[in-house]
Amino acid sequence: MTVDTTMLARQIYEQARQLPPESLTDLAKYVEFLQFKVNEGLVDDPDRLEKLRIVNLRGLLQGYDFSPELLTEARREMWSTLEEEIA
């Protein structure tokens, strides 16, 4: 079974565009998780994924600016970059 990656990327992009803005954070976290699984070779070894240690990151981002204006600009930049890559 062959997957047309360009078509699939466009489909995912269109689906992501339909999400409410507050869902984009969850989507970004999931994509980051998938990248981690692939990079660590966990895709073919789910038992290894279960054994990973959980690390408490509470307070790690304290002092950073997450104002609505900054987040809006970051989203705008992210979408423009993604549109350029897909087009």
Task: State the pLDDT at residue 1.
Answer: 43
Average pLDDT, the chain: 83
Task: State the pLDDT at residue 37.
Answer: 78
Token pair for 29: 């976290």
- 35 vs 46: CA distance, rounded Å: 15
Task: State the pLDDT at residue 17.
Answer: 92
Task: State the pLDDT at residue 57.
Answer: 85
Label residue 16 exposed, middle or buried (CB < 10 Å: 0-12, 13-18, 19+): middle
CB half-sphere exposure, 58, CA atoms < 13 A: 1
What would the mean pLDDT of 35-63 be, rounded to a whole number?
75
Give the tens place of pLDDT for each residue, 56-67: 888 888 888 889
